[in-house]
Amino acid sequence: MPVRQLRFSEPEALYESIRLRIEDEVPPGSLVAMPTGSTPLPLYARVRANPRSRALWATFRFLQLDEYFEPPAGAEFFRDYLRRELFDPLELPSESVLDIEPFSHANATKRAEQLDAQFQRVGPPQLVVLGLGPNGHIAFNEPATDFADGYHFVELCPTTVRANVGSKIPNRSHYALTLSVPQILTAESVYLIVPQLEKQTVLDRVLGGPVSPMLPGSALIEHPNLSVFRRDTQSA
Ligand code: GLP
């Protein structure tokens, strides 16, 4: 099935289209998963500024996609980011926030099992919205020899850490917990948002197939309801 690609010459139109599409497609009370990073910030600002969006988004339940074991210098816990950008401004009740509490190496496996049990209980999500890592990662599913299933603990690629904190080269390993690719694929609908001109080439590789765990985002091309919001490089 061909992937639905929506191309925009201006980022403003891209973010407005996502906001309107969510309002059209996602019923009140739905379970959704929203990404962190720089990509979704203009979307969240639009939601905060629009009373109709706020009213709908305040009914959603939010599943956190991924979390650092310990944020690299210059980064923050994704839970804090999501609280600041969405959860607190929307004044969500605590039962609507299915976030990932900080964890240690000692309890990471147990935390992953708890998150899987929660996913079984509340899932599948109506909508998962994703950004794309420079190496084709989605959430924190890094290039690997196979697609792990269930929440799992990963060592982050140096390119990922560098992209997330600016240009500094990480001087040690960094780890994270992430929802798996097979779990993402259970969502009713998946949006992949790639507004960065410099990521259009990796996006073309992701969408061109074949599906490979070395390019984790490529798994999305088999999802029956994937929408890709990207830049129109012809007119950019
Ligand atoms: C991070 C996050 C992803 C995010 C991606 C892109 O590593 N784990 O959820 O989509 O990188 O980040 P950015 O939007 O800052 O380019």
Residue with CA nearest ligand 1 atom 11: 133
Per-residue confidence (pLDDT) for residue 168, from 0 to 100: 64
Q: Which two tokens stand for residue 226?
A: 């994937």
Using one digit for the tens of pLDDT, what is the confidence trace for 31-56?
999 999 999 999 999 999 999 999 99
Residue of 9, 19, 5, 28 lying closest to 48 (CA atoms): 19
Q: Degrees (nearest 5) of the Cα angle 113, 32, 108? A: 20
pLDDT per residue as tens digits for the range 224-236? 999 999 999 876 5
Tokens of 13: 């139109």
pLDDT at residue 191, rounded to an integer:
98
Q: How far is CA 58 from CA 30, 62, 99, in A?
A: 10, 10, 16
| pLDDT tens column, 169-186 | 667 889 999 999 999 999
The amino acid at residue 132 is L
DSSP designation for 160:
H
Q: Choose which residue among 15, 62, 141, 164 to substitute to test ligand 1 binding: the one with the highest number of ligand atoms within 8 A of its C-beta.
A: 164
What separation in Å is there between the alpha carbon of 78 and the centre of ligand 1? 10
The whole-number pLDDT of residue 171 equals 76
Q: Which residues have CB under 6 Å of ligand 1?
A: 35-39, 65-66, 130-131, 133, 139-140, 160, 164
Task: Compute φ and ψ for 105, nearest 5 degrees.
Answer: -55, -40
Structure tokens at 113: 């099992």
* pLDDT above 80 for 59: yes
Q: Tell me the CA–centroid distance for residue 116 and ligand 1, in Å.
A: 22
Q: List the residue whose alpha carbon is closest to atom 12 of ligand 1.
A: 37
Per DSSP bridges, beta strands 175-178 and 152-155 are antiparallel
- Give me the percent of the chain exceeding a pLDDT of 70: 97
Mean pLDDT on 155-171: 83
Q: Relative to the CA of 199, which ligand 1 atom is closest?
A: 16
Judged against a pLDDT cut of 90, whether residue 167 lies above it is answered with: no
